[in-house]
A and B are shown apart, each in its own frame.
Chain A
């Protein structure tokens, strides 16, 4: 199962190291990770997506919760959560029609086109990991020169 973990941590040096080290030493997987400071500069929010069976995910949450530098650890319900990741694709332009084709594709996925050059085009996509993967598959025939992803950021819907 794929799980989204939202982890509020003290905004201090070395915490990212400790969290990622925990995943390594407990034999858990990190699928993606994103970190940034919150509205309160004392805290950072880490969003980690991971794979594991129910028991493993429960263990990950408990072990993270046990860490003294974590303030709040939640497993977010995918269906009640807005989760997005930003991805930049640099795609090859071989034929005259490629640019238009890729523009269409980007529009279909709500993406933006940047930096159109003679032989390459850059697409910015903010979407779910599944949608990014789907776009990647469609872009492959053109030739993906490079890509960079941010990892997922997620917030549960509603609530106070």
Chain B
């Protein structure tokens, strides 16, 4: 539609978002975005009220990761805008599509230190994929159109649209463009087929090849292609933590995540491999240990949609730039053409399988009843495979990585890059909005949950029944573990005390609270939560002394794991 129509900037914003298919906005109103809020009464977009703008951003992030369409959050100027910065940075670090719309003081007031003025464009610059500040109402439709396009194409990311209040109020003749040009933006490249061909040859001629699937594999939904390649070439598959669940973790070729708290078998095999097909990963320090050590031993084939990732942390012998699903599709096709389908186990794959079963049987677990492994395996047992799991950040997150197997690809999400405590619960709410018909569980710790627990109000009042699976050790457990390990048990600032009572806390918000002190109680609690139509917090007291093991200390290589003694 290119017909001109006169309307206010705020109305144009809502219409432009409706055209992008936006059904809901997570947000909190304030002085500088009142004209936008006035439009909610006149459009079909649902508003989901949060209790802190950071949670609005995480909800939009969770929605975006699950639906693969940008989630939208609204905040007012000044503190509203600065409150969403952490959420924007989190989305950027994990390449999640998001649109953040902030109110701004009127154009004539910008730069005069007005009430609730913050230079959010300047502050957000390093953590957004792009930012717009329309200075006239007529610019709004195109800013929105371009913003959504930028947020969801190529390597996804957050886009900020900061709209001065008078620009929201002013009327203009609006054109809603169907076509537009962004000259300096090249989100896609065609994968180089020759390099894919070379990659196949390199994998075929290596003794100990392995696949490392990163978060990009999940973002591009390259699950079927990944599995086809792993099976055709009979390659073991490890993932980064962000790539967890890119490959079914119950598959015989799956070894699980590598990294600081990777699976023992994954780290061992990654450390022994001589060639890696790395898909959609930035080789983060948490995944590879030391950069120099990692690339020294390995021939690296690197596939990524972002050319700037090639050579940033690791030097690749072969690079394939482009959407990783397209690259993998080419590889699948070439494998079919060349009729490559391995059926005989190589000595390497036999060794991989032996190592895997050794660690499955011999990794020492916490001896008591309420150890992390038993708790998370119980959750896995009772959750339908299509359920979506988010996590907070800390020990529980790494236990989830170790003991919660993702069966259906693309159902596990975490703040892996920025490591934002408080992300999991609001993100779960966003995820549930995206997929209301599947159970959504936030695997949480008490430290992280405390940061955004007031989202219980949103979950209850907006009728978004997610489950908070709270591993409660009354402490900042991961920091405590580092203090035990590296600071000779000098424990500082990590004891949270038994406060609050999370069952009562949940109940006071109108949510359901259940305490589970044994595996039997946990079994019942999970079943109750799954059959409830209200948000539920399952409070699971655990031993504050339990460590996450194995543990690769920072600055060491994957082969040097600290194991349970």
Whether the Cβ atoms of B312 and A10 lie closer than 8 Å is no
How far apart are A8's CB and chain B's nearest CB, in angstroms? 9
B183 touches A71 (CB 8 A): yes
Least Cβ–Cβ distance between A61 and chain B, in angstroms = 9
**Contact assessment for A17 and B122 in the assembled complex, using a CB-CB cutoff below 8 Å:** yes
Q: Which of A36-73 contact B (CB under 8 A)?
A: 55, 58-59, 62-63, 65-71
Partner-binding segment picked from B163-171, B270-278, B303-311, B344-352: B303-311
Among B126, B182, B185, B308, contact of A21 (Cβ-Cβ < 8 Å) = B126
The A interface is mostly helix, strand or loop, or mixed, namely helix
Residue tally, chain B, CB below 8 Å to A: 18
B150: chain A residues within 8 A (beta carbon): 68
Closest to A54 in B: B311
* Chain A contacts with B in 62-91, Cβ cutoff 8 A: 62-63, 65-71
**Are B185's CB and A68's CB within 8 A?**
yes
Complex: how many Å from CA A55 to CA B308?
A: 11
A-side contacts of B182, CB under 8 Å:
68
Contact A66 B126 (CB under 8 A): no
A10 cross-chain contacts in B, Cβ below 8 A: 183-184
Cβ contact of B184, chosen from A22, A25, A67, cutoff 8 A: A67
Tell me the total A-B contact number using a CB cutoff of 8 A: 39
Contact A66–B125 (Cβ < 8 Å): no
Dominant SS among interface residues on chain B: loop
Which residues of B have CB within 8 Å of A70? 184
Number of interface residues of A (CB under 8 A): 20
A66 to chain B, nearest CB (A): 5
Q: A21-B126, A68-B184, A69-B184 known; A62 and B307 CB under 8 Å?
A: yes
Cα–Cα distance between A58 and B315 once the two chains are bound (Å) = 12
Tell me, yes or no, whether B121 is within 8 Å of chain A by CB: yes
Instruction: Give CA–CA (A59, B310) in the complex, Å.
Output: 9
| Complex: A91 Cα to B343 Cα, angstroms | 81
Say which residue of B122, B184, B311, B315 sits within 8 Å of A71 (CB atoms): B184
* Residue of A21, A63, A66, A69 contacting most chain B CB atoms (<10 Å): A66
Complex CA–CA separation, A14 to B310 (angstroms): 28
A71 to B310, CA, bound (A): 21
Please name all residues of chain A whose beta carbon is closer than 8 Å to the beta carbon of B125 when the two chains form the complex: 17-18, 21
Inter-subunit contact A65/B308 (CB<8 Å): yes
Contacts of A69 in B (CB 8 A): 184
- Measured between C-beta atoms, what is the minimum distance from B283 to chain A in Å? 13
Known: A14-B121, A59-B312. A65 touches B307 (CB 8 A): yes
Contacts of B312 in A (CB 8 A): 59, 62
Q: Which of A17, A22, A59 contacts B311 (CB 8 A)?
A: A59
For residue A66, which residues in chain B have a CB less than 8 angstroms away from its CB?
306-308
Is B294's beta carbon under 8 Å from chain A? no
B130 touches which one: A58, A65, A68, A71 (CB < 8 A)?
A: A68
- Residues on B with C-beta less than 8 A from A62 are 307-308, 310-312
CA distance A25 to B129 in the complex (A): 14
Taken together as a complex, chains A and B put the C-alpha atoms of A65 and B129 apart, in Å, by 13
Given known A-B contacts A17-B125, A18-B125, A25-B126, A63 and B184 have beta carbons under 8 A apart: no
Q: Which residues of B contact A65 (CB under 8 A)?
A: 307-308
Least CB separation from B183: chain A residue:
A71
Which of the listed residues B130, B150, B183 has the most CB atoms from chain A within 10 Å of its own CB? B183
Chain B residues engaging chain A, CB cutoff 8 angstroms? 121-122, 125-126, 129-130, 150, 182-185, 306-308, 310-312, 315
